[in-house]
Amino acid sequence: MVNQENPMMKYTELEHIGSGGFGHVVRALNNATGGEVAIKKINLQGLGRKELTVNEIVIMKRYRSSSVVNYLDSYLLGEELWLVMEYMDGGALSDVIHKTCLSEDHIAAISRECLQGLDFLHSNDVIHRDVKSDNILLRTDGSVKLTDFGLSTQLTPEQSRPCLVAGTPWWMAPEVVTGQPYGPKVDIWSFGIVGVEMLEKEPPYWDQSHTSARRLIATVGTPKLRQPKLLSALLRDFLSCCLQTDEERRWSAKELLQHPFVRFAEPASSLVPLIVSVKKRKETRM
């Protein structure tokens, strides 16, 4: 499962670029190639942590796509696992959301790239289960990729409709928060909430506790947009297709890729000026 070499001999750490409940992420240099990588250092102590990490490695090794952050290698140092991945130099979508205003053209291009990733996962019977702006990474060439598969699940004939409550509360689909059996379309609801984030800078109920947010998702249903009249009919319809409370009526990733809002989106390269400007602004403030 892991490389037995000492990664400290292979990589030189450059800077800390992120952290979470799992541990932290650093930017590093591959000493042999001179290429940059991201190393996710996961603390394996704690119930269930090893299982989640093994799950993440298996899914990243098995499924490679231009829409998913590439797995490169993994190492075990005591109770810390190093997961080496391609470095996405544009940072997370959440950074872009908080530092600039996205146009509908930007939202359409980002949506298409993310839906291609979700369609790839779902066609391989994988549910991501933690789609949110923090887990969508960008590169300064315009690439948009899904990352963080720690909560992902591989569907099997025996387990085709899981009911484990997993994910980050504000992005969870109604069927997840109520403990109902669910399928891949939970990721579509979560991506619909990312769409709301791209418009309003935060998901619905962000000011509520985990418990209150889950209760509101279960009882309110499709969240209301703050200023729907400022949006095009196409964008409103696209979000509506993502945020149907009835899983049967919610569109799949494949169907959403044919939605006019996404189908006529600009190429990913159109995102370059946006991503580069946000990166420069961030570097200036550091």
Catalytic residue among 89, 95, 119, 130: 130
Known active-site residue 134: no
Which tokens in the block code for residue 154? 């591989």
Beta-strand pair 80-86/36-43: antiparallel
Question: Are the C-beta atoms of 127 and 277 separated by less than 8 Å?
Answer: no
Question: Are the C-beta atoms of 42 and 49 separated by less than 8 Å?
Answer: yes
User: What are the residue numbers of the active site?
Assistant: 130
